[in-house]
């Protein structure tokens, strides 16, 4: 069967990436979109697009029946699920086939089998593949799980059987923490996957996460496309991935690759899939973790080093064609590293961010798979990943340098991202030397990541940017070259005061520009200033400088060759309001750390609580966070109810600390 029309049952960067390959194959593409994605890039790029429901994923991208209805209406021969959403739903795959629409992925029964970590481990054992010592039994009582934990030993990992992406997962260091960890993991597993069953595994503290890309077809062919190292993780979620895995002895590499093909062949695997392993660097032992029966987020690094187009392989196999390559045809050339760019604040515990992207520019020297562009709206309804930046070079050192340079040139204004965090990870000695493991991020940033110190010169530039944004008439429309405008230095009051880091900063007019004086620093001079939309060019100390910038209220974001920097530049009134507001409410309110959905209120107004008691559960970008009481006292107000959407800094609960229990 030749696939002529393909419906892409996804959104964002993966939808665009699938559309790109399908179009190159001459396949007509159909996009689907929710209310939140009407103007999304993937909708614009497909040959046809259909609305499937409201912004909430459960009523749109997770509505399999609706997607199949649209596929039939659009005349689609096949559905590509991408990753996430319905990509590992055996029920959806079976429903597609029953409706006469090909599912671009493995057979439904294989998805069901390998989708359960418990059943997958059983198949791995039967195939002769080593597994992590643990417990995956049917008895899910707390008493049994605690007893099994004592047998396995601490530390151990509690995992959702049906889960992935770090949800429903807890590291337990000692027996006394076990029951609380079980309750939390069950809650996340049920909310995220509709299945509260758990399994236990021995926790390897300095482990590496190695995975193998496999491909199979309906003609009995199974090959691997080498391995990836995905060890650099935060909160059990991958951040930076690479191919091949550094420092892996060749004999061990071949053993792992052979093991993956052995398992895929044993279960009759078809299409693209990934077999994941845990490697104990100290002992050299490796253990099967799970099999992902779909395309992985990090598949571009494999494409870079092998030259394969994995999406093309998927589409051809789904159409009934053989793979077209044998194992000896696949070689690993050079090195590739991918960095996941996300709308999150690493300095605030990776809190998801939302907003409108006011300026976007991808680096020209790297492959960038992006789901956004200038003007895109980033909402709390979906995953926080915005784009993936992939570099390829002849060796590992060269590819790290290329990726670091690419990230420093990437522009993503309008909301907080993890670009600075990614840049610091690439500079970490353990990563540079290929000694990283799954605990490297927490070890390298033991107190949490903090942005690099911003120079006085850049903070002064931020003051100038805020000043010009507040006074658009300072830009002289009569002295222009194209989009550029010279800055007029006459006819104004000549001086203004802002606050940077709660300290006054004075900006003054000079004969040829401006000086900005920060508290405790000598004046910073800006001469011959010119501006274009989002860019300032000036002379400082006789040297020409160019800075890309964006101003949103008091937040000034700047992009230079050294990277991306954010500075809060406040007027006196703004600084006063923030200070007095914070003082008035300090210690008696719970505010939303991110835009999201109220999932649960654990107490009603009138309840007497102690500091640290759980009060509100909020969900944003598929992550659940429990917010706790800021003080001892009586819960007096809960302005929002479960099911309601809130913005960042919304007041979710108010306490009366004066009625502290005695």
Do 548 and 482 share a structural domain?
yes
In this structure, are 407 and 460 located in the same domain? no
Residues 168 and 98 in one domain: no
Please choose, from the candidates 500, 545, 538, the residue with its C-alpha nearest in 3D space to the C-alpha of residue 519: 500
Token pair, residue 485, equals 């405008």
- Dist. CA 240–CA 437, nearest whole Å: 12
Closest C-alpha among 465, 548, 545 to residue 507: 465
Same domain for 234 and 367, yes or no, is yes
Q: Among the three residues 545, 573, 601, which one is the final residue of a domain in this structure?
A: 573
Residue at a domain's end among 386, 418, 444:
444
Which SS3 state, helix, strand or coil, does residue 396 take? helix
Same-domain pairing of 390 and 244: yes
Minimal CA–CA distance to 376: which of 405, 415, 326? Answer: 415
Edge-first strand order for the sheet with 645-646 is 623-628, 614-620, 596-601, 645-646
Q: Is residue 261 part of a domain?
A: yes
CATH number of the domain that residue 517 is part of: 3.30.700
Same domain for 197 and 213: no
CB atoms within 10 A of CB 44: 11
Assess contact for 218 and 185: CB atoms under 8 A.
no
Residues 150 and 190 in one domain: yes
Average pLDDT over residues 475-489: 47
pLDDT over 80 (residue 163) = no
Tally Cβ neighbours within 10 Å of residue 254: 11
Residue ranges with strand state E in 377-472: 377-378, 385-393, 411-413
pLDDT of 187-217, one tens digit each? 888 877 788 999 999 888 889 999 999 999 9
Distance CA 119, CA 124 (A): 9
Domain extent for 628: 587-659
> Do residues 222 and 197 both lie within one domain?
no
Give the Cβ contact number of residue 30 at 10 Å.
23
For residue 79, how far is the Cα from the chain centroid?
25
Domain CATH number, residue 173: 3.30.1490.20
Q: What does the pLDDT read at residue 258?
A: 98
CA dihedral 392, 396, 398, 403 (to 10 degrees): 50
Residues 541 and 624 in one domain: no
Q: Are strands 78-80 and 5-8 parallel, antiparallel or unpaired?
A: parallel
- Indicate which CATH number applies to the domain containing 86: 3.40.50.20
Does the residue 578 lie in any domain? no
In a domain, 535, yes or no: yes
For residues 263 and 404, membership in a common domain is answered with: yes
Say if residue 619's pLDDT is above 90: no
Residue 657 falls in which region: left (phi positive, over 0), alpha (psi -120 to 50) or beta: alpha
- 243: its two tokens: 């191919």
Q: Which two tokens stand for residue 71?
A: 């596929």
Q: Is 126 exposed, middle or buried (0-12, 13-18, 19+ CB in 10 A)?
A: exposed
pLDDT digits (tens, 9 = 90+) for 409-445: 999 988 889 999 999 999 999 999 999 999 999 999 9
Among residues 264, 255, 204, 209, the alpha carbon closest in space to that of 234 is found at 209
Which of the four pLDDT bands, split at 50, 70 and 90, describes residue 471? confident
Mind listing the pLDDT tens digit for each residue in 279-319? 998 889 999 999 999 999 999 999 999 999 999 999 999 99
| Residue at 580 is within a domain | no
The verdict on 467 and 352 lying in the same domain is no
Is residue 112 a part of any domain in this protein? no
Structure tokens at 516: 């900005």
Structure confidence by residue, pLDDT tens digits, 23-69 = 999 999 999 999 999 999 999 999 999 999 999 999 999 999 999 99
**pLDDT tens digits along 351-368:** 888 989 988 999 999 999
Does the pLDDT of residue 478 top 50, yes or no?
no
Q: Is 582 a residue whose pLDDT tops 80?
A: no
Residue in 373, 375, 382 with CA at minimum distance from that of residue 344: 382
Asked which of 401, 420, 444 is the last residue of a domain, the reply is 444
Residues 518 and 383 placed together within one structural domain of the fold: no
Say how many domains are in the chain: 5
In a domain, residue 643? The reply is yes
DSSP letters for 155-175: SEEEEETT--TTTTEEEE-SG
Per-residue pLDDT, 533: 81
Confidence of residue 483 (pLDDT cuts 50, 70, 90): very low
């Amino acid at each position: 069967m030749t696939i002529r029309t393909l419906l892409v049952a996804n959104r964002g960067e993966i939808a665009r990436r699938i559309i790109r390959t399908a179009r190159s194959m001459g396949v007509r593409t159909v996009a689907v979109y929710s209310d939140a994605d009407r103007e999304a890039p993937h909708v614009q790029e497909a040959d046809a697009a259909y609305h499937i429901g409201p912004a909430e994923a459960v009523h749109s991208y997770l509505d399999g029946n609706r997607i199949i209805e649209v596929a039939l209406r659009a005349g689609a021969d096949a559905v590509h699920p991408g990753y996430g959403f319905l990509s590992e739903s055996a029920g959806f795959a079976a429903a597609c086939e029953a409706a006469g629409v090909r599912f671009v992925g493995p057979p439904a029964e294989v998805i069901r089998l390998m989708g359960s970590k418990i059943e997958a481990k059983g198949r791995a054992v039967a195939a002769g593949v080593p597994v992590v010592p643990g417990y995956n039994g049917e008895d899910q009582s707390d008493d049994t799980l605690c007893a099994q934990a004592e047998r396995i030993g601490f530390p151990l990992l509690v995992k959702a059987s049906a889960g992935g992406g770090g949800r429903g997962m807890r590291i337990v260091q000692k027996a006394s923490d076990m029951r609380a960890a079980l309750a939390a993991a069950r809650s996340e597993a049920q909310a995220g996957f509709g299945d509260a069953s758990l399994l236990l595994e021995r926790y390897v503290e300095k482990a590496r996460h190695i995975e193998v890309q496999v491909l199979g077809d309906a003609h009995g062919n199974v090959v691997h496309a080498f391995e990836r190292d995905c060890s650099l993780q935060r909160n059990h979620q991958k951040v930076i991935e690479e191919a091949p895995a550094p420092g892996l002895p060749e004999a061990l590499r071949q053993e792992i690759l052979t093991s993956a093909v052995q398992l895929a062949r044993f279960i009759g695997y078809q299409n693209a899939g990934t077999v994941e392993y845990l490697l104990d660097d100290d002992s050299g032992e490796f253990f099967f973790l799970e099999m992902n029966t779909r395309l992985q987020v990090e598949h571009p690094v494999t494409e870079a080093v092998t030259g394969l187009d994995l999406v093309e392989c998927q589409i051809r196999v789904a159409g009934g064609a053989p793979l077209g390559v044998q194992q000896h045809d696949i070689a690993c050339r050079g090195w590739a590293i991918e960095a996941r760019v996300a709308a999150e604040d690493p300095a605030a515990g990776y809190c998801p961010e939302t907003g409108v992207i006011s300026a976007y520019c991808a680096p020209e020297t790297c492959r960038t798979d992006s789901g956004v562009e200038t003007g895109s709206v980033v909402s709390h309804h979906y995953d926080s990943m915005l784009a993936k930046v992939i570099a390829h070079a002849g060796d590992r050192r060269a590819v790290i340098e290329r990726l670091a340079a690419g990230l420093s040139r990437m522009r993503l204004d309008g909301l907080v991202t993890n670009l600075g965090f990614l840049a610091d990870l690439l500079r970490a000695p353990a990563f540079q030397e290929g000694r990283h493991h799954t605990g490297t991020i927490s070890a390298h940033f033991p107190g949490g990541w903090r942005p690099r110190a911003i120079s006085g010169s850049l903070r002064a530039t931020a003051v100038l940017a805020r000043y010009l944004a507040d006074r658009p008439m300072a830009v002289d429309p009569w002295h222009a070259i194209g989009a550029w405008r010279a800055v007029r230095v006459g006819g104004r009051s000549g001086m203004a005061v802002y606050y940077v880091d709660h300290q006054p900063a004075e900006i003054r007019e000079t004969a040829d520009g401006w000086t900005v004086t920060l508290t405790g620093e000598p004046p910073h001079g800006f001469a011959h200033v010119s501006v274009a939309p989002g860019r300032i060019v000036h002379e400082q100390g006789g040297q020409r400088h160019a800075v890309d910038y964006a101003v949103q209220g008091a937040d000034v974001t700047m992009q230079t060759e050294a990277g991306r920097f954010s500075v809060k530049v406040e007027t006196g009134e703004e600084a006063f309001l923030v200070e007095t507001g914070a003082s008035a409410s300090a210690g008696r309110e719970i505010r939303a750390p991110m835009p999201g959905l109220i999932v649960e209120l654990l107490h009603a107004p009138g309840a007497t609580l102690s500091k640290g008691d759980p009060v509100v559960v909020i969900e944003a970008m598929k992550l659940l966070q429990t917010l706790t009481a800021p003080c001892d006292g009586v819960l007096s107000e809960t302005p929002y109810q479960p099911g309601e959407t809130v913005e960042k800094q919304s007041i979710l609960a108010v306490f009366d600390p004066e009625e502290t229990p005695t």
